Amino acid sequence: MNISPSPSSLSQPLELARALIRKPSITPRDEGALDVLQAALTTLGFECHRLVFNDDGAPAIDNLYARLGKAAPHFCFAGHTDVVPVGSGWTTEPFNADVIDGYIYGRGASDMKSAIAAFVAAAARFTTDVPAFKGSISFLITGDEEGDAINGTTKVLNWLKARGEKIDVCVVGEPTSQTKLGDMAKIGRRGSLTAKLVVYGTQGHSAYPHLADNPIPRLMTMLGALIAKPLDNGSAHFQASTLAITTIDVGNAASNVIPGAARAAFNIRFNDHHTGAKLKTWLKETLDAAADGGHYDLDVRISGESFLTPPGALSELVSNAVKDVTGRTPELSTTGGTSDARFIKNMCPVVEIGMVGLTMHKADERCAIADIDSLAAIYRRMLERYFATS
């Protein structure tokens, strides 16, 4: 893509999407993706800030905050240019951004570089049609959503607070659509807790188990206690919380040796019946009882609490824009994994709406070119409705 694109070219999102996909910005590397985006936004008159944050134990991350206008109300588009590793099984080159039979292929096509291009196209169309709109439009784009999420969106939000900047509403471009563009929007997300459990025993000969202390049965008992009954039955806007055991590992290649330790990991996706702190307490109490005095270590990482933007003005804005363009009304959901919306909700109401996610993180990740243009039209309609009513 031309390093100095014209405003008219930016109103059509395909080439910008291809230019972004061609940058192999696998977390935590940027590889020039934000340069492409900054050039586009500078052309549209946005004031751009490149924000690189460092934290001990986490890689340095390049972020972009760009704003057009200084007045309220302030509408923010948020997302990420980082992508997950390529993996195997591709029939196209992952960073070529090939266009085949009406689809654009490449890592990030669905999650979520095409949505970022649609953000830009929407801003280009709206500011061309309504150059004197009253308010501000901004972009908060990180390079750390697929990674540790330490030096990305949270740090940018802290930077904004330090500057006294306030965001009134935010739309995140995660690939929320299920099978058709706009069939689902996310008004919240479940919390996520990941735990690593190590149960200790005493190594010994399998023919003399009385001289050893086998940690495997104890580990099985402890895990059984965790999954013995459901955490809850769901709530008004959330499905039931889940606990998934993701690995059990002894690392023992010998059939005649009782190991000295056994390990497991599990992930809890929890709804608004719980907090991470309360679940951590429940885990300790449950495991203590099941361990029956045995020694174990538990390492817990809470990567996000559950949150909800209650149905209201913002979800109506999103739903109406989707209906205007596609004729369908999105389901307002809280399913799926986590996203950086979990941080943004601390500043303002946030809703997620983006591309069809059927191929995200897969080989031959792709999206329909027609959907990119339709998504740009949806985002543009949001801006029109928002600033008209504001």
Indicate the SS3 state at residue 108: coil
CA 252 to chain centre: 36
Based on the residue annotation, tell me whether 165 is a catalytic residue of this protein. Answer: no
Residue with tokens 């009253």: 134
Residues 6+ positions from 276 with CB-CB distance below 8 Å: 191, 193, 270, 302, 305
Among candidate residues 268, 287, 265, the one with its CA nearest the CA of residue 276: 268
For residues 289 and 216, give the distance between their C-alpha atoms in angstroms, rounded to a whole number. 16
Alpha-carbon radius of gyration of the chain? 24
Which structure tokens are listed for 183? Answer: 């069939």
Cβ(338)–Cβ(268) under 8 Å? no
Cβ(29)–Cβ(144) under 8 Å? no
* Phi, psi for 145 (deg, rounded to 5): -75, -35
Based on the residue annotation, tell me whether 55 is a catalytic residue of this protein. Answer: no
For residues 261 and 199, give the distance between their C-alpha atoms in angstroms, rounded to a whole number. 6
DSSP for 114-147, please give it: HHHHHHHHHHHHHHHH-TT-SSEEEEEEES-TTT
Is the CA virtual torsion 129, 135, 141, 145 positive or negative?
negative
* Phi, psi for 265 (deg, rounded to 5): -135, 150
For residues 85 and 111, give the distance between their C-alpha atoms in angstroms, rounded to a whole number. 12
* Phi, psi for 51 (deg, rounded to 5): -120, 110
Among candidate residues 184, 192, 189, the one with its CA nearest the CA of residue 308: 189
For residues 263 and 291, give the distance between their C-alpha atoms in angstroms, rounded to a whole number. 14
Q: Which of 62, 82, 365, 384 is catalytic?
A: 82
* CB-CB neighbours of 25 under 10 Å: 26
Residues 6+ positions from 278 with CB-CB distance below 8 Å: none
Q: Which of 31, 62, 145, 384 is catalytic?
A: 145
Which structure tokens are listed for 69? Answer: 């206008």
Is the CA virtual torsion 327, 12, 91, 87 positive or negative?
negative
**Which residues are tagged catalytic?**
82, 145
